[in-house]
Amino acid sequence: MHMKIFCQSYWGELHDLTFSYNRSSTKEPEEETAWETKPRQSLARPGTDEAAMMHTPLAAVVRYDTGNPTTHLFYISTGFKIREVVWRNGSQTNDCLGVTVCPTTSLSVTKWGAGSQTHFRLYYQSRAGTIEEHCLDCNAGTWTKGATLSGPVSPYEDDSPLRGTSLSFINLSQDKPDLRGFFQTARGSLRELSSKGGKWSVNGIGVDAAPFRTPLAAITVEKNKRAAVYFVDSYNRINEVVWEGDWEGSERIDGESVAPGARLAVASLKYIGHDKIRLFSSGLVNVITQRVWTRENETWGEKSTLVDFEVPTQVEVEPGLNPALHLTNPTRDGRRV
């Protein structure tokens, strides 16, 4: 099995890190050898029609057809349009979805189903600041406009989204839609969007104030019916809000600070018979770090460094649901804040 993190270099190309592991192994993978950097200099190169805007958000998802993974990566072009890169059976395509977005938008994608019956939902912020949905039902093969989940940006509405808010969406079920999305309001509070039967509603998660444009990363572990949202507080510490039928209030996961402007991503993996939650953040001077939570210990381990890039790298990570691939989105690095 493997997990991927996508990121953007100083010059604008997209890269990935691959973490390989054996789910049936009885040994922990060695962190310093398990991660491999693979530059994709042909992907979204500056000066081409496929070029990515600097600090582009990224979102990725994987589906399986007869056991073979098909990876979808989404980013924003220099013309502020969503582009989709698809890797399938060794081939690569890069297409424009024709959707124009807010220049400060975030991207988030989630799914349910399998094979030709896989359903994708992609979320972004429009030019007016509304949170929008784009839909792909893989048996149909074409993207269509979905729901509008919020009103436009307004300082007078409690649930109005902040322009440039981080977005993080998850699905609580593998075979049907039970969608949850998280965003920050124009007043600084964190809100949850939930959908059942196609109807969306907005609720609080017990966080009434957070730094504006705080990064958000959400995850669900379906087997345990548990969800969690991670954000960064005003002291640059990562906080966790846990849902097990109800939101339980926020709590810092450790005393370590993250870099100003850092982004987060979270992934749930299971190997050596144990659930492990991996939380990624960007650090100062081109470093990606991770924190690992293990169910057997019920604690977060020490922070470790994944990679120190040879070139400056902007990194932002978004949540993923599938162990084979998890998401990373570019943002400002510590040198350029």
How do the pLDDT tens digits run along the chain, 337 residues long? Answer: 677 888 887 788 888 877 766 655 556 655 555 666 655 556 888 889 999 999 899 999 988 876 778 889 999 999 999 999 998 887 889 999 999 999 999 999 999 987 778 999 999 999 999 999 999 988 778 899 999 999 988 878 889 999 999 999 999 888 889 999 999 999 999 999 999 777 899 999 999 999 999 999 999 875 556 789 999 999 999 999 999 888 988 899 888 888 888 888 888 776 555 677 888 887 666 677 888 887 666 778 777 766 665 443 333 333 333 322 233 333 333 222 2
Cα 64 to Cα 88, 105, 174, 202, 322: the distances in Å are 10, 28, 13, 32, 10
239: in domain? yes
Say how many domains are in the chain.
Answer: 1
Retrieve residue 237's tokens.
């510490």
335: in domain? no
Q: What integer pLDDT is reported at residue 25 of this predicted model?
A: 57
CA dihedral 54, 57, 62, 63 (to 10 degrees): -110
76: in domain? yes
CATH number at residue 290: 2.120.10.70
- Whole-number Å distance between alpha carbons of 315 and 264: 9
Q: What integer pLDDT is reported at residue 22 of this predicted model?
A: 60
59: in domain? yes
- pTM of the predicted model, to two decimals? 0.87
313: in domain? yes
Cβ neighbours of residue 83 under 8 Å, at least 6 residues apart? 44, 50, 52, 74, 75, 76, 77, 94, 95, 96, 97
Q: What integer pLDDT is reported at residue 40 of this predicted model?
A: 54
152: in domain? yes
Q: What integer pLDDT is reported at residue 29 of this predicted model?
A: 57
* Residue 302 belongs to domain spanning: 2-328
181: in domain? yes
Q: What integer pLDDT is reported at residue 332 of this predicted model?
A: 32
336: in domain? no
